[in-house]
Amino acid sequence: MKSLWNDAEAARCRTELELRVYSSRLLGRDSSLVLHGGGNTSVKLRECSLLGEEEDILHVKGSGWDLETIEAPGFAPVRMAHLAKLARLEALSDPQMMNELATHVTHAGAPAPSVEAILHAILPYKYVDHTHADALLAITNTPEGERHARAIFGKDTVLIPYVMPGFDLARLCARRFAAEANAGTIGMVLMNHGIFSFGSTARESYERMIGLVARAEEYLAKHGAWELPPARADGISPAQRLELAGLRREISACAGFPVVLSTHSQPKYLSFARRNDVAALSQQGPATPDHVLRTKRVPMLGRDVGAYAAAYKEYFSRHAPSAREPKTLLDPAPRVVLDAGFGLGCAGRTAKDAKIVHDIYSHTIDVILRATALGGYRALPEKDIFDVEYWDLEQAKLKKAGAPPVFTGEVALVTGAASGIGKACVEALLKRGAAVVGLDLDPKIEDVYKRADFLGLRCDVTVESDVVSSLETAVRAFGGLDMLILNAGVFPGGRRIDSLGSGEWQRVMQVNVDANLALLRECHPLLKLAPRGGRVVVIGSKNVPAPGPGAAAYSASKAALTQLARVAALEWGRDAIRVNTIHPNAVFDTGIWTEEVLAERARHYGLTVESYRTNNVLGVEVDSRDVAELAAEMCGPIFAKTTGAQVPVDGGNDRVI
């Protein structure tokens, strides 16, 4: 491990708090030190209040902030005098502690201080850094972890046995530090938890952390436990979407709500999942209690991809919550699934949560393998894991969280998603909490959004192999399919029947009808497995009830698509899939309405372009967002008992009315 400190970058920091931000971000850059909000840092400053009174303030990382991106407002300013008084108490519940911290913050808009604020306060150093370094966890999660730690760190660190984070840990550290620290003390090791460093400057504290972790890495290397064994794993099945969707359904049933399930089949994960001892290694628990709150349980379930149902259902039947359990208990569903068939599965309430689980467990595998090479992986006892999992503070957090957005944990697929109505549908679904897969022929679909809950795939929906491949990729990313928005279509320029060629007719039918038939057919098995029932919304057209001259191919194709949707509604009701159709008209902010087409249609009706835009009963212009909002609502609870419906979004058309 190397120091990333840069004197030129540090020179741009004007205050000690800015230096605290800078060195915190250096720690955050290295995922082997901290992950997704893990770890915390602080600085003690002398500040003047509004009344002109000077007081010592601890600026400690606040809840919800990540060290990699933290800014000055991410540090909660807490009065040191009060923290010192709290540290002298014999007992203090964690909810009481958090209340005391919150009521002694000097800025009303500050985040909640870290649960380890008192621990930072009692350490007699200006700057304090705390990480959950992988190398340290690999060493302390072994049967002889304490012996290894003492051999590595000697007398310049204080060694603390494991105690759950909170007031009890702060009190123990205060006593042990007072008894064991000396003039040469530069750090503190918390067994099975993490490591502290401190110093009089930001650089000193940061580089002491780097030096301490480097010692741990060198020790592992010396004992042949640093270089990970090469990951070799072949034989992954190319098509597993139905099995994975079935697994997601079972996990969702156990959780009591839909989840996103991402799967990862790189050699590292396949190799680990196929180890003969993987059941013993993976069932012990996380490498640090900080990760319990993010991964919950970590079961290794069925190892044969063809035998999902029996293995998973048996697990869920044993772990499903009973009706007598308090509703605030954490759900028993797994967050991590290891399977010889696909490798690693990561479940979360959202795509972001699933990504966090993946990142944490990827590092956990490294810790397990290194600990195993050093003498055997041994995590905390089950009781300690349980105590953290059902911690008062975690339960309070669950109660405070409130209801998530309506489509949280659900997955939607939108065709023609790069622009117009399709893009607006993506935005409407993301806003409601769904993970969304967008398909489009335009390559720009891959870069429409850069976020964990969106996957853009270039796909020609008229090529069935493209459709099948896209669905496989979508399910590996998010676990299944709950909602399907059939939006992709073409609208050729006006052409009367007597001049309509067969080639143009067939091209329109191929995109507007044949492609949607293939999508419906291939998506049906996935929609059947949707935890809350599948939903399909078809974007039709006003031309179905009221066709216009010069649009024979388009009108006929949309009419055929509407009939296809009606039949699907009849056939799929028994599968708890509802199918509804929206008929928009004159939505001009879409790709099919080029300036040329718009001008031609306006001339056809003897109108100016401006008057053509609002040529409806209400005299309003309809845009893509109007259609998308209705499409999203049709997938929601308001339309839970509606199928086979056809709803216009056209401002009122006199020919339709």
Nearest to 359 by CA among 262, 252, 244: 262
Q: How many CB atoms lie within 10 A of CB 544?
A: 21
**Who's near 334: CB < 8 A, 6+ residues apart?**
251, 254, 296, 297, 298, 299, 301, 315, 347
Look at strands 454-458 and 578-584 and give their pairing: unpaired
Neighbours of 155 (CB within 10 A): 11
| pLDDT for position 297 | 37
pLDDT of residue 383: 67
DSSP string, 272-293: HHT-TTHHHHHTS--SSGGGHH
Flag residues of the chain having pLDDT under 50. Answer: 293-316, 318-330, 390-391, 395
Quote the tokens at residue 633: 């609502």
Domain 411-649: which CATH class?
Answer: alpha beta
Reference 135, options 152, 123, 118, 115; nearest CA is: 152
* Dist. CA 403–CA 622, nearest whole Å: 32
Asked whether 609 and 602 are in contact (CB, 8 A), the reply is: yes
Which two three-digit tokens encode residue 150? 């003492």
pLDDT digits (tens, 9 = 90+) for 586-629: 898 876 677 887 888 789 889 998 899 999 999 999 999 999 99
Q: What pLDDT sits at residue 326?
A: 36
Query: Topology of 241-401 in CATH?
Result: L-fuculose-1-phosphate Aldolase (3.40.225)
Strands 336-339 and 260-264: unpaired
| Residues linked to residue 76 through DSSP beta bridges, in sequence order | 60
Distance CA 610, CA 595 (A): 12
Q: Tell me the sheet residues that pair with 348.
A: 260
What count of Cα atoms within 13 Å lies in the side-chain half-sphere of residue 141? 32
Question: Residues of CATH 3.40.50.720 domain(s) within the chain?
Answer: 411-649
Spatial CB neighbours of 384, under 8 Å, sequence gap ≥ 6: 162, 164, 289
| Matching residue, tokens 């659900």 | 410
Q: What is the pLDDT of residue 396?
A: 55
The model's pTM is 0.88
Query: What is the signed CA dihedral for 151, 152, 157, 158, rounded to 10 degrees?
Result: -50
Assess if CATH 3.40.225.10 describes domain 7-222.
yes
Portions of the chain given CATH number 3.40.225.10: 7-222, 241-401
Q: What is the DSSP letter of 231?
A: -
Residue 283 pLDDT: 80
- The residues near 172 (Cβ < 8 Å, ≥ 6 apart) are 160, 161, 163
3 state SS for 348-413:
ECCHHHHHHHHHHHHHHHHHHHHHHHHCCCCCCCHHHHHHHHCCHHHHHHHHHHCCCCCCCCCEEE
CB 454 within 8 A of CB 466: no
Query: Sign of torsion, CA 402 35 365 187?
Result: negative
